[in-house]
Structure 1
Amino acid sequence: MGHADDPRRFLVDGRLDRSPRRWRDKVAVTRYLATVAMPRLLEPISERDLTDRLAELARDPVALRRAMVDLGLVSRTRDGAEYWRTERTEHDPEPDAVEIVDRALGESP
């Protein structure tokens, strides 16, 4: 991944102070921050914990959370009490064989 495509170029000391102007860049930085805030796929997290994590990463954690849901990266319960990341991104490490087999068998790691 070249520097021009690296979403971290929009962060200042690891935080997003201003959303990028271009849509493609907004999507890229949102995908990256979703992976940072929610490193484990499908692991449920409370709205409060997620907002706290996102507050460490962005000036507007609520807008970032909404963007993650709108882009289909994150799902939530109907009442918004719990969130979980539903999409593997290019920022995730490659799954190992054990993880793939466990997931196929429906067993959690």
Structure 2
Amino acid sequence: MTSHPSSPPSVADLFAADGRLKAIPRRAARREALLAHLAATLFETGRDYREPEVNEALKGVHEDFPALRRYLVTGGFLSRTKDGAAYRRQQRTGTPGGAIPAVA
């Protein structure tokens, strides 16, 4: 058996042969896995993106790019400036260097 219970769900089956997303998953775990995949494959760490750039990248995946953009921001995969002019990919796995934050 090759799958492990703790491994994240695969997102490959969410995509059609042409590379476009069939549907945005309703189940939270599946959507989280998809968003992690999109953030990692579409956006570079440490680079700012203007909203039209984010939209263009997401349009290539699914026609409901505003929903994907919103999920990426609310899920913590992308941060957005208060004026909405710039987006940046976020690291969601712990803190930089793998350090555990101190608890007071």
The two structures have a TM-score, normalised by structure 2, of 0.75
What are structure 1's unaligned runs of at least 5 residues? 90-99, 101-109
Q: Does 1:37 align with 2:34?
A: no
Amino acid at match of 1:6: S
Contact 1:8/1:29 (CA < 8 Å) preserved in 2? no
SS at match of 2:79: strand
- Report sequence identity in percent: 33
The two structures have a TM-score, normalised by structure 1, of 0.72
Contact 1:17/1:59 (CA < 8 Å) preserved in 2? no
Write 1 or 2 for the structure with the bigger share of helix: 1
How far apart, in 1, do the equivalents of 2:92 and 2:45 lie? Answer: 7
How far apart, in 1, do the equivalents of 2:32 and 2:63 lie? Answer: 17
Contact 1:54/1:61 (CA < 8 Å) preserved in 2? yes
Q: Does 1:55 align with 2:86?
A: no
Please state how far the C-alpha of 1:88 moved relative to its aligned partner.
5.7
Please state how far the C-alpha of 1:34 moved relative to its aligned partner.
1.4
Please state how far the C-alpha of 1:45 moved relative to its aligned partner.
0.6
Residue in 2 that maps onto 1:17: 22
How far apart, in 2, do the equivalents of 1:64 and 1:42 lie? Answer: 20
Q: Does 1:27 align with 2:32?
A: yes
CA 80–47 in structure 1, closer or farther in 2 if over 3 Å, else same = same
RMSD: 2.0
Number of aligned residue pairs: 88
Amino acid at match of 2:13: R
Residue in 1 that maps onto 2:101: none
